[in-house]
Amino acid sequence: MTQAPVLVVLDEATHQAIPTSAAELIGAASTIGTPVVLATTTMGEEDAVAKALGEAGAQRVLLADIPTDALTVPLADATKAAIAHTQPAAIVFSNSVAGRDVAARVAVRHRKALLIDATSIRQDEEGIITDHSVFGGSYLSVAAATYGAPVITLREGSVDARAEAVQASVEKLELAADKPSSRAATITNTAQAEQTSTRPALRTAEKVVSGGRALGSPEKFEEVVGGLADALGAAVGASRVAVDTGYVPPEHQVGQTGVVVSPQLYVALGISGAIQHLAGMQTADTIVAINSDPEAPIFEIADFGVVGDIFEVVPQLIAALNDRKG
């Protein structure tokens, strides 16, 4: 039985590379239908893009030639053409800033249900269903569209499913030759951010080590949190207090007003567990907390907890991990 197509829209803001979320989005789409991926021509050479997306499980790749100096609207226009071309059962985006923006525009234009920040996608005899972690992770809500194909944004790192590699077919998506929309914000200048860290990106990392105010200084934060992160091959996160105190830059903040992560492993060092922080990491598969306060709220959601001084416990943990590596 042939499965209905599920349109996956890659929303890399700069359109300069295939987003790191592509494999996860395609994997999620494969659980409810046949993944069809909308990519832009600037993400690479046609053969290279098709090969990379095919290895991630895309059955078909639609390549759209859109302006690179305009934000959001051109990709929404391309998505409109892709929907008309494929008649998908669902349209899936990453729950990134760009993804949410384009998804909302597409939902309004097509009068479709918009299901934001889903942590999983599934299907029953009545249609497509999404799960959502809400109210700081205290509740799980279930949503479904009552008619038509839903527009879904998927929380990065929340889906483990991956599709089998295939030989993807490639099609050039024909777009209407309209003049660029005056509604689109334009990019007048870009600069490449200097990337000095070799650690994984926080939003998509499979392992995250975060630290709180208890670290005491930027130097101790790097020594303890950074040291354990390097031993585990993990990304570095932080509580809001640690960021506000200046231990690490704002892009490391995990929580309701920072980055929402859903890794396989989350290690919290000296983090008490304020509700705003829990909202950003509570869906992690395994949570390990190390804190000197046995009453810290973080222990209520931790799978494993250690009551102890992080400056005594963590160095021993790092040494043990390094010994295991040989």
DSSP letter, residue 216: -
Decide if 5-172 and 207-325 have a common fold.
yes
- pLDDT > 90: percent of the chain: 65
Q: Tell me the C-alpha distance between 74 and 46, whole Å.
A: 20
Output 236 or 46, whichever has higher pLDDT.
236
Output 285 or 195, whichever has higher pLDDT.
285
CATH of region 207-325, choose from 3.40.50.620, 3.90.230.10, 3.40.50.1220, 3.10.180.10: 3.40.50.1220
Mean pLDDT (whole number) for 147-173: 91
Q: Is 5 helix (H, G, I), strand (E, B) or coil?
A: strand
1: number of Cβ within 10 Å? 2
Range of lowest pLDDT (82-91, 171-180, 194-203, 283-292): 171-180
pLDDT of residue 70: 74
Per domain, the residue ranges of the chain are 5-172, 207-325
Both tokens of 296, joined, read 């810290």
pLDDT of residue 43: 81
Q: Tell me the C-alpha distance between 137 and 56, whole Å.
A: 30
53 pLDDT more than 90? yes
Q: Which superfamily is assigned to 5-172 in CATH?
A: HUPs (3.40.50.620)
284: number of Cβ within 10 Å? 23
pLDDT of residue 2: 65
